[in-house]
Amino acid sequence: MSNVVMLICSAATGALELARENGLAVPEAAVVEVPCSGRVDETTILRTLRQGARAVLVVGCLAGNCRFRTGNHEAHRNVDEAKSILEQIGLSPDRVEMVEIASVQYVRLVEAMRSMEERAERLGPIDLLEGDA
């Protein structure tokens, strides 16, 4: 598994495509397209980390632009809950972040990906149980 898993709203995937089309060096990340960032709950985030990701980046639409109306608000709430749980179990909440972008904000998306890649490298792998590799 990649160090960073990006859970990206299908409406924001255009930014990833534009970044590649414009020749930007897109950081390596496992990209998982979701119908809406609001569908990414804290269980999904924590499971992704448990399965080997060092960091999770949730990408949603700009506030007020969600086609499902409240998806990005739900996503923020779920990301905050995942961060709280991580803190409670002794892991850095910095392993999870959410960014809101428009599909034309490809530079901002790449910057967020680079930031999460650097964080993941700094934080290292997660060892939750004795014997984890």
CA angle 46–52–55, rounded 5-degree value: 60
Share of the chain above pLDDT 70, in %: 95
Give the pLDDT mean for 19-46: 95
What value does the CA radius of gyration of the chain take, rounded to a whole number of Å?
Answer: 14
128 is a domain residue: no
Q: Which residues on adjacent β-strands are paired with residue 4?
A: 55
46 is a domain residue: yes
Asked whether the predicted pLDDT for residue 133 surpasses 70, the reply is no
Query: Tokens 């700009």 map to which residue?
Result: 62
63 is a domain residue: yes
The strand ranges marked E within 1-133 are 4-9, 30-34, 55-60, 96-100
Asked whether the predicted pLDDT for residue 127 surpasses 80, the reply is no
58 is a domain residue: yes
Helix-strand-coil split of the chain, %, nearest 5: 45, 15, 35
For 74-125, how does the pLDDT look when each residue is reduced to its tens digit (9 = 90+)?
999 999 999 999 999 999 999 999 999 999 999 999 999 999 999 999 999 9
Alpha carbon distance 56, 37 (integer Å): 13
114 is a domain residue: yes
The amino acid at 107: V
Q: Which residues on adjacent β-strands are paired with residue 34?
A: 9
Three-state SS for 57? strand
What tokens does 28 get? Answer: 């390596």
The DSSP element (H or E) to which 121 belongs, if any, is helix 106-123
Alpha carbon distance 8, 60 (integer Å): 6
Of the pLDDT bands very low, low, confident and very high (cuts 50, 70, 90), residue 2 is confident
Total domain count, the chain = 1
What is the residue range of 18's domain?
4-123
129 is a domain residue: no
For position 53, which CATH number holds? Answer: 3.40.50
What tokens does 103 get? Answer: 């599909």
44 is a domain residue: yes
